[in-house]
Amino acid sequence: MERISDHHFGITTLFSTYLATMVGRIKPSGSPRDPVPPQFFKDILSSIVQPVLAIINSSLFSGVVPSSFKHAVVQPLLKKPGLDPTVLANYRPISKLPFLSKVLEKIVYCQLKQFLDDNGILEVFQSGFKTLHSTESALIRVFNDILLACDSGNHVVLILLDLTAAFDTVDHNILISRLHHIVGIDGTVLKWFQSYLEERTFSVKISDSESSAVSMTYGVPQGSILGPLLFSLYLLPLGSILRKHGISFHCYADDCQIYLPMKQKDVHSIKHLLACLGDIKSWLALNFLNCNENKTEVIVFGPSGSSESSSVDLGPLEVYFKHVITDLGFKVDSDFKLDSQIRAVVKSSFYHLRRLASVKSFLSRQHFETVIHAFISTRLDYCNALYLGVSQSLLSRLQLVQNAAARLLTGTRKREHVTPVLASLHWLPVYFRIHFKILLFVFKSLHNLAPAYLSELLHPYVPYRSLRSADQLLLEVPRSRRKLRGDRAFSVIGPKLWNDLPLQVREAPSLSTFKVRLKTHLFYLAFNSCGI
C-alpha cells in the first residue's frame, strides 16, 4: 500500500497544564460505572492531576490502553417521543464510555488531528466530524458544482449512497494497516492503537438491570472521540477510486454523494459511472462495508427550469431514480424549486408552534424566545443559503412561519401589522436571513474559517489596470447563463452579494465584528423602507 505521508506520527510528553486544558474541553459525560461523576472529576482535577497524569502517560508510552477504559455501557433510548416502545427498531443505542478514557482519547485525538492537518492526509471532500465543516457547507459545494454544470448546458446525475452500520463493521486489521502505511504510524504508537481497538466489550443497561459483557471484534467504538476520525481514515481509499474515474464526490461521515455532468443521451458517461460504482462496491466488500440499497437514491438535474430527467438513460440506475431526494436532511427536487423542502419546513414549524403555545405561560419571555429559536429559527435557517432564487410564493410561506413565531412570542394579534414586531425583536426577515447566511460563508471562506473547498471558489477581483476598485476588497463574479441555475451557485451569488456590501462591512477585522456590521446593514435594508 502506498504511503501518503513521509512523516512519522509520535505522541509528545504530557504535562499537567496541557491535561487540564484537555479536560476542560471535554463534555462532562461518562459511563454509569464511573466512580466519580464527570463534572465532579473536572472540579477536583487540580487535586488529582498527578495520578491522572501518571495513568495517561503510562498508557501512551507503554502502548497499552487499560481494559477498564474499553468497556462501554449501552443504554437504548427511543428515537422520538411517542414511538412504540415494544419495537426494537425504534430505539437508538447510546454508548457511554468512562470519562477518563475520553480524556485519554482527547489527548491522542488532538495530536493526531494536528499531524493529519499538517501533512494534508485527510480527505478534502469529507465534511463529517471536522471543524469548520458542516452538512450545509457540504451541500453548498455539491450544489454549486451541479448548478454550474447545468448552467453550461449539461445534465447532472447525483447518486446518494448510504453505508449500512459502517462504523460497526470496520475491520481492525485493515484500519491498523491504514494507520501504518497511509498515515505513518509505527512503533509504540501503533501498538497503542492496536490496544485501543482490541478486546473491547459492551453491556446493555436498562433501568437498574445490566447484561453481561459482550466482546466487540469489529468496528470503531461508538460514543468515542477517536472513532469518527479513525473511520474517516478507514474510508480514505474511496476517494482515490472516485478520482481515478474522474467523478466528483462529497462524503459526510458514511453518507456519500457522487455526481457526474453529462450531455443529453450520453450513454458512454452512464457506462463510465456504472463502472465506477462497480469498483466502489468491490472495494466496500473487501473492506467489510456494505451499501444500503434501500437508501440509495438517484436524481437528475437538467439545464432548464423544467424536469429533464427522462432525457437521460440511467440504465440499471433507473430503479433508484426519484424526482425528490433527501440529501443530508435537505429535500431537493430535480427542478431545484425546493418546494418539497420548504413545505416540510413549514409543516414541521407550525406543528412545533402549536405545541410551544401550550407551554408559553410557564416560561419567561426571554426563555420562551430561546425555545422559539431552538425549534423554529433553526428550521428556517437550515441550509437556507440554498434558498436564494426560489419563488417569492415559497419564501412568503417561510415568512408566515416567522411571523407566527413573532406573534406567539409577543402576543400580537393576527390583524396587527407584524413588521414593527419583527423590527422590535431585531429579527431579520427570511429573505435577509438568506443573504446573511450566504455572506457569512463568504466572509469565513475569505478568512480561513470555512472548508478549503469553499474558499477555492472565491477569487479577488483584479482590474486590468490600476483603479480605485483594487482597494475595495471586491471579488470576481463568474459569468453565468441561466438565472435559475448558474446565478444560484455560491461561487456566483456569493461574490455578487459581497460586492454590494458597503466597504465598512467587507473590511470587518473579525467574524464577530462582521456579523454585527452585516446585521446592521441588512436590518436597515429590511426595515428602513417601512419607516422603522
Owner of C-alpha cell 423544467 = 306
Q: Which pLDDT does position 470 carry in this prediction?
A: 59
Shared domain check, 326 and 311: yes
Task: Report the number of distinct structural domains present in the chain.
Answer: 4
CB atoms within 10 A of CB 109: 19
Shared domain check, 148 and 268: yes
Residue 226 included in any domain: no
CA 387 to chain centre: 18
Cα distances from 389 to residues 115, 384, 485, in angstroms, run 41, 11, 9
Q: What is the pTM of this model?
A: 0.92
Cα distances from 490 to residues 138, 156, 425, 444, 509, in angstroms, run 12, 17, 30, 13, 23
CATH number at residue 143: 3.30.70
Q: Which pLDDT does position 485 carry in this prediction?
A: 85
Residue 112 included in any domain: yes
Shared domain check, 271 and 160: yes
Q: Which domain holds residue 376?
A: 339-425
Domain boundary among 156, 188, 219: 219
Task: Give me the residues paired with residue 96 across strands.
Answer: 73
Shared domain check, 274 and 303: yes
DSSP type of residue 181 = I
Mean pLDDT by 10 residues, the chain (532 residues): 63 86 92 93 94 94 96 92 87 93 96 94 95 97 96 94 92 97 94 97 92 94 95 96 97 96 82 94 96 92 66 85 96 95 98 96 96 98 97 97 97 92 97 98 98 97 70 89 86 97 97 98 88 58
Q: Which pLDDT does position 468 carry in this prediction?
A: 61
Q: Which pLDDT does position 8 carry in this prediction?
A: 78
Domain boundary among 377, 402, 425: 425
Shared domain check, 179 and 158: no
Residue 250 included in any domain: yes
pLDDT tens figures, 496-518:
999 999 999 999 999 999 999 99
Shared domain check, 283 and 212: no
**DSSP H helix total and E strand total for the chain:** 20, 11
Shared domain check, 472 and 498: yes
pLDDT tens figures, 264-303:
777 788 899 999 999 999 999 999 999 988 899 999 999 8
Shared domain check, 468 and 417: no
Q: Which pLDDT does position 11 carry in this prediction?
A: 84
The whole-angstrom separation of Cα 80 and Cα 170 is: 28
Shared domain check, 201 and 108: yes
Shared domain check, 85 and 40: yes
Residues near 316 by Cβ (< 8 Å), separated by ≥ 6? Answer: 274
Residue 170 included in any domain: no
Residue 3 included in any domain: no
Shared domain check, 324 and 399: no
Domain boundary among 374, 406, 425: 425
Q: Which pLDDT does position 10 carry in this prediction?
A: 84
The whole-angstrom separation of Cα 401 and Cα 384 is: 14
pLDDT tens figures, 309-347:
556 888 899 999 999 999 999 999 999 999 999 999 999
Residue 5 included in any domain: no
Exposure string (b/e) for 210-227, b if CB count within 10 Å is 16 or more? eeeeeebeebbbbbbbbb
Residue 11 included in any domain: no
Shared domain check, 436 and 416: no
The crossing angle, in degrees rounded to 10, of helices 45-62 and 16-25 is: 100
Q: Which pLDDT does position 5 carry in this prediction?
A: 53
